[in-house]
Amino acid sequence: MKKKGQTMGLAIMSAIMVFIIGIMVLNFVMPEVSTARTELNCESAADISDGTKLLCLATDSVVPYFMIMVFSITIGAITARLVL
């Protein structure tokens, strides 16, 4: 049997496991982002300084970047087995 065919199933199972764990961790990250937004008072843009606005923007971008990271690791794990 080919060695590539044997490792492909393991790569897919590992990628699915990384995806599931990543989505589970996302459920812990989202409430912390909401707490940070309320503590920074991000709702009233007129009352906060420019640095705080930048920090609010960075805080808002955590969840999309985390999801992109989980997807790219999952897809990368599968495609690495195909190429190598």
Whether pTM > 0.85 for this model: the answer is: no
Domain, as residue range, for 21: 3-83
- Using pLDDT thresholds of 50, 70 and 90, give the confidence band for residue 1: low
Rounded CA separation 60/48 (Å): 16
Calculate Rg over the CA atoms of the chain. Answer: 19
Counting the structural domains of the chain, the total is: 1
Kindly tell me if the per-residue pLDDT of 55 is higher than 90. Answer: yes
Cα distance between residue 33 and residue 73, in whole Å: 22
pLDDT, one tens digit per residue, over 2-21 is 666 677 788 889 899 999 99
